[in-house]
Structure 1
Amino acid sequence: MGTETGSAFDTEALRRAIEGDTGDTLLSMYTDDAEIRIVDRDSQPSHPTVLHGRARIAELLDDIYSRDMTHRMEQCVVQGDHAAYSESCEYPDGTRVLAESMVTLRDGKIADQLVVQAWDE
């Protein structure tokens, strides 16, 4: 599951960041002008939630990592300047969240991310 040859993107660093206690390390993996698009039940494909820049991404990560839940990176594949990964999360009451991300990389950092997520209801 290591880094693809020639790529500056470190999948083990991504795992540690996702599975960490705060979003700070994960935030450092984004470019200053990064964009995240989130698609889920409330933000459907024609109207995704769109976050521009590290400040907005920091707000999202602060919210996520302030919750009592676990995060685990399931898989990650890197090919050239793209990566895809699966993340599973669980709240203490057993509620689960599954997120699939496709990212575009620039200089070893995430420049663009599409997240499709589903929650237990």
Structure 2
Amino acid sequence: MGTAARSVFDTDTLRRGIEGQTPQTLLSLYADDAELRVVDHHTQPSHPKVLHGRDEIAEMLDDVYSRDMTHTLEECVVQGDRAAFSESCEYADGVRVLSDSMIKLRDGKIVEQTIIQAWDE
């Protein structure tokens, strides 16, 4: 009797990627055909921002990691081909951001992600 091979999402890489100074480590967790949806004050649920593929996701991450802010992975839960995590961020001027993500995995890579975020105004 054999056991099914199970891909594992690398939560250590997720932490290093989120808390790092550049987006490359975080970007390595996305499949080439990944889709990322962002819901926040500006891109509300009926019209979320949707990014298709690693190139578009890389552009967003390059923008985020070019800002003077810190990022912290607060919690991460992985179950099979699904994961969820919370991230807190703080700009140099003290403005805070909190985001929660739900992700779908394939072969240990993110193929779908929905981010819901809120920040101090």
Q: How does 1:96-115 map to 2 (within 5 A)?
A: 96-115=96-115
Please tell me the root mean square deviation across aligned C-alpha atoms, in Å: 0.7
Larger radius of gyration: 2
Answer yes or no: is 1:51 the counterpart of 2:15: no
User: How far does the alpha carbon of each residue in 1:59-116 deviate from its partner, in whole angstroms, 9 at most, with x for none?
Assistant: 0000000000000000000001000000000011110000000000000000000000
After the TM superposition, which parts of structure 1 deviate over 2 Å for at least 4 consecutive aligned residues? none
Post-superposition shift, 1:7?
A: 4.2
SS of 2:116 mapped into structure 1: strand
> Is 1:40 paired with 2:40?
yes
In 2, the alpha carbon distance for the partners of 1:96 and 1:113 equals 22
- SS of 1:103 mapped into structure 2: strand
Q: How many residues align?
A: 116
1:119 aligns with 2:119: yes
> What TM-score, normalized by structure 2, do the two folds share?
0.94
Aligned AA (2:99):
A
Structure 1: 5+ residue runs without aligned partners?
Answer: 1-5
Write the mapping of 1:1-121 to structure 2, written as runs, cut at 5 A.
Answer: 6-121=6-121
